[in-house]
Structure 1
Amino acid sequence: MENFTIWSLMIDLSIISGLLLVGTILRAKVKWIQALFLPASMIAGFIGLAFGPSGFGILPFSNQFSAYPGLLIAVIFAAIPIGAAKVHLSEVFHRVRNMFSYSMILTLSMWGIGVLFALLILNPIFSDLPSGFGLVLGAGFLGGHGTAAAIGEGLAHAGWKEAMDLAMTSATVGILIAVLGGLFLIKHSTEKGKTKFITNFKNLPTELKSGLMPKSKRFYMGQETVSSSSIDPLVLHLAIIAFVIGVSYWITNSLSDLIPSVSVPLFSVAFVLGLLFQAISRRIKSDEYIDQRVMERIGGTATDFLVAFGIASINITVVIDYALPLLFLFAFGTIWAYVLFHFVGPNIFKDFWLEKSIFGWGWSTGTVAMGLALLRIVDPELKSRTPEDYALAYIGVAPVDIIIVTFAPILFGLGFTWVIPLVLLLGAAVIIAIYKSAGWWGQSKHENTPS
């Protein structure tokens, strides 16, 4: 086995960066890639997969390049709370109750139903499947490559080493389903007259197709909160993230030594420390020097590299070994996503149910970015206020999502996999029951205008 050095890291970054540049050019120039909304990071990952160790073996990645997603997901989670604006949850919930409830139902049911389907159907048929196989559905479809990396790392610590490859495959397939299925649903809904803002792909802004922003629509990535005579503003923000990750790594190792039977994921500790860092910053009045946009860009950078590395490092042999149960799981997940789109969306949302449900389809099978891309087709001017509502609703959904991603692999490792679908599906059922008892269920059938 080759020794991993600082130059091994540099070569890996150089290769994947070159592939990201190629992906950006292809997205900007190739029409069929634009039609699929494929992000540059995903294109880079496919090229890396084809020409890397799992393909033709031309690209000289190091023997550690499959480990990068586990670190990058910690960067993403650490960046989420740091620099975030202070909000009052009661006010947020009152305003975006329906979006919050819909997002919770999607989150709880997609995670829960995947595990339940695997336990009831797949595990009896394929007796050698791990009991946590169904987690692969939620890991990829619901959370994209970031959550896939998190779940993959957690399940690997719990003893299922192939989980990362399967989760990354799930995320990749999920994005394709999000786009292809979403475009079909939009076309069908438009023909049926269900859309409020009738449009099609040809009417989309150029930047959504090519990925290149015209000068008139460009904006700043963030503000310089400190003088470069002291420290470069970007270095300040990177230093905060690096410090949080380093302390998180130390805590994770310490916990592993204290409780060997339980493995706490690095990204979960990083998120908690990020929250703590933000709370301390607010208390000492230094949070004004942390720019949220810069932190978002750091998280976005980590996400692009994670997607590229994640796809490029997929072990094709492992995927082939699990091909048939994966096919059944993905097919079932697609059907379930349609059930949520067709039956839950119209009954939860009071206004613009189609537009908001199309967005939900995108992020419940692929990523939030895919949901936004689909939304811009049916709501070009974003009059439904879906992104704004989702951003506020996610404040309440995020902790639940992180709890699931953190503790589901632990429950799997301890042999309590059945607890996962029972608790999650019960939670989704409770939300629906509350809506029905309060008379909120089926509102779109009575009113389709903004409230």
Structure 2
Amino acid sequence: MSPSTIGLAILLLGILAIVGTMIRVRSRTAQKLFLPVSIIAGFIALILGPQVLGRLGEWLGWDALVEGGIFGGGVQEVWGELPGLLISVVFAALFLGTTLPSPKRAVKLLGPQLSLGVTFASGQYVIGILLAVAILVPLFNVSPMFGALIEIGFEGGHGTAAGMAPVMQELGFEDGGDLALAMATVGILSGVIIGVIGVNWAARRGHSKTLDVSANRDPEIARGLYDSEQPSGGSLTVRTESVDSLTLHIGIIALAVLIGQGLLSGLQAIEQWLWADTIEIFEFVPLFPLAMLGGVIIQLIGDKTGLARLIDRGTMERIQGLALDTLIIAALATLSLDAIVDNLWPFIILAVAGILWNVFVLFFLAPRFIQNFWFERAIADFGQSQGVTATGLLLLRMADPHQKSPAYEAFGYKQLVFEPFFGGGLVTAASIPLIVQLGPYPLLIIMAVLLVFAIASGLFYFGKRASFDLERQQ
């Protein structure tokens, strides 16, 4: 793989992003579905690549298109490696530039929000593993690892799916990465569609104190452009005579990734020393959740030493957004349609079950967990549990465009407690190795116990307490 091929592959990703942006601006269908540009561009690359155009070329006898479509085999090879690298950048920047609350304060303020998030995530494991052991493995002879696909694809999104692909392949689940990416695509599309329907339903039925349905029709939001006020993408924290602020922030992310690699290597060494003869978990845990912990360590040190002022959250979000957009385009461009076709019915069963579970939690459990502003606070978690955090914030912006509810604050602090474990955190990273090493039942039992605890705490403790606190503050 030559340097020029690597450079060309990266340039083509930028061109695809421009094409995707033009389609989003002009396509009413894309606007109504609130499709992210990265997904539009990824599907374009998939169609023009070997999976679609390449097969058409094979049928027509155009051998030049078979290996890599119009992009070539070398570009496809580069794209195939990018997701596993960029996911560590995304997670390393997750908490850099944020204010980290104490666990005691987070639990006190966000008990019902945390219970709701854990209910979404642990339920996806319980539903998925139950379906795997009861139906999918006996009837379709698939791997028990199928049971983790809902949480990896829905709660984790495209980034986590791409990051977990090498682990699944190493453990014998060759189609797992492609199936998880497809699951993430189904999740984000269904999440936006159901979320938009839910926003309009809540407005008509009076289930919200802040809902403004006109936000759905905001042309700026639909087109994905700022026509008037343009918010800043970040602030300079160092003088450019010394070093560019972007360079410094990239270096901080690099340090976080290296700290994560050190943590992972240390855990793997301890495992080899103590219990590797019985079970190996950290041997197969990917780097990105530890890179996230590396970012947390840097932020904690910065808060203690006063150096946190050098870390700008807006700049970190721009780097994180670039890495995530690039990751999604590259991952979808190299998606294997054969994996989906070969496992079509198990995939459909899991996807439908995951969607039904999330809808049940949103419309049945959430009002009982959260008595005040329940829809605003629940729609963000629903969007995240179907796709990515950005989906949840998009739906929340539609439901509460003027930030009149405590939903933004509650969701933000809940992420600090939730993200290290689910949606690409330690639990997600360890789920596949646990299933392989111990079988599906131990993970099923753990997630079932966690699910019961989350539902019980949401119904009988946190929900009622949060209602009292909100009423006292008003």
Q: TM-score, normalised by structure 2?
A: 0.86
Pick aligned residue for 2:247 from 213, 235, 243: 235
TM-superposed CA distance for 1:281, in Å, is 3.6
Q: Relative to 1, partners in 2 of residues 1:270 and 1:377: Cα closer, same or farther, differing over 3 Å?
A: closer
Aligned equivalents of 2:191 and 2:436: distance in 1? Answer: 31
Q: Relative to 1, partners in 2 of residues 1:42 and 1:343: Cα closer, same or farther, differing over 3 Å?
A: same
Aligned equivalents of 2:461 and 2:268: distance in 1? Answer: 46
Structure 2 residue 148 is the aligned partner of structure 1 residue 135:
yes
Q: Relative to 1, partners in 2 of residues 1:10 and 1:253: Cα closer, same or farther, differing over 3 Å?
A: farther
Q: C-alpha deviations, 1:392-429, integer Å up to 9, x for none?
A: 11111122211212211221231332222211221121
User: Amino acid of the residue matched to residue 271 of structure 1?
Assistant: M
Bigger drift between 243-252 and 66-75 goes to: 243-252
Structure 2 residue 88 is the aligned partner of structure 1 residue 74:
yes
Structure 2 residue 175 is the aligned partner of structure 1 residue 162:
yes
Contact 2:152 2:180 in 1 (8 A): yes
Give the match's secondary structure for 2:76.
coil
Structure 2 residue 223 is the aligned partner of structure 1 residue 210:
yes
Structure 2 residue 314 is the aligned partner of structure 1 residue 293:
yes
Bigger drift between 398-407 and 284-293 goes to: 284-293
Pick aligned residue for 2:326 from 282, 297, 305: 305
Q: C-alpha deviations, 1:89-134, integer Å up to 9, x for none?
A: 322322222212211211222233222222222112112x111102
Determine the structure 1 residue equivalent to 2:352: 331
Pick aligned residue for 2:186 from 153, 173, 180: 173
User: Amino acid of the residue matched to residue 275 of structure 1?
Assistant: V
TM-superposed CA distance for 1:247, in Å, is 5.9
Give the match's secondary structure for 2:145.
coil
Aligned equivalents of 2:298 and 2:382: distance in 1? Answer: 34
Q: C-alpha deviations, 1:231-289, integer Å up to 9, x for none?
A: 11101111222344356557757877884852231112322322333334444442221
Determine the structure 2 residue equivalent to 1:126: 140
Determine the structure 2 residue equivalent to 1:115: 129
Aligned equivalents of 1:268 and 1:332: distance in 2? Answer: 27
Instruction: Give 1:29-428 correspondences, 5 Å limit.
Output: 29-56=26-53, 57-60=69-72, 61-127=75-141, 129-197=142-210, 199-200=212-213, 204-216=217-229, 218-246=230-258, 248=260, 259=272, 262-401=283-422, 402-428=425-451
Q: TM-score, normalised by structure 1?
A: 0.90
TM-superposed CA distance for 1:6, in Å, is 1.9
User: Amino acid of the residue matched to residue 245 of structure 2?
Assistant: P
Aligned equivalents of 1:5 and 1:253: distance in 2? Answer: 30
User: Amino acid of the residue matched to residue 368 of structure 1?
Assistant: T
Contact 1:225 1:233 in 2 (8 A): yes
Determine the structure 2 residue equivalent to 1:14: 11
Give the match's secondary structure for 2:372.
coil
Give the match's secondary structure for 1:133.
helix
TM-superposed CA distance for 1:40, in Å, is 0.6
TM-superposed CA distance for 1:321, in Å, is 0.7
Aligned equivalents of 1:114 and 1:249: distance in 2? Answer: 30
Aligned equivalents of 2:183 and 2:400: distance in 1? Answer: 28
Q: C-alpha deviations, 1:121-161, integer Å up to 9, x for none?
A: 2112112x111102111111112112222332332233322
Q: Relative to 1, partners in 2 of residues 1:353 and 1:229: Cα closer, same or farther, differing over 3 Å?
A: same
TM-superposed CA distance for 1:183, in Å, is 2.6
Aligned equivalents of 1:279 and 1:358: distance in 2? Answer: 30
TM-superposed CA distance for 1:450, in Å, is 8.1
Contact 1:237 1:290 in 2 (8 A): yes
More helix, by proportion: 2
TM-superposed CA distance for 1:208, in Å, is 1.1
Q: C-alpha deviations, 1:19-65, integer Å up to 9, x for none?
A: 11111111122211110000111100010110012221122323232
Unpaired runs of 5+ residues, structure 2, are 54-68
- Runs of 4+ aligned structure 1 residues displaced above 6 Å come to 253-258, 447-450
User: Amino acid of the residue matched to residue 438 of structure 2?
Assistant: G
CA-atom RMSD, angstroms? 2.7
User: Amino acid of the residue matched to residue 44 of structure 1?
Assistant: A
Unpaired runs of 5+ residues, structure 1, are none
TM-superposed CA distance for 1:324, in Å, is 1.1
The count of corresponding residues between Structure 1 and Structure 2 is 445
Contact 1:46 1:311 in 2 (8 A): yes
Give the match's secondary structure for 1:96.
helix
TM-superposed CA distance for 1:327, in Å, is 0.6
Aligned equivalents of 1:247 and 1:189: distance in 2? Answer: 45
Q: Relative to 1, partners in 2 of residues 1:247 and 1:354: Cα closer, same or farther, differing over 3 Å?
A: closer
Aligned equivalents of 1:187 and 1:84: distance in 2? Answer: 33
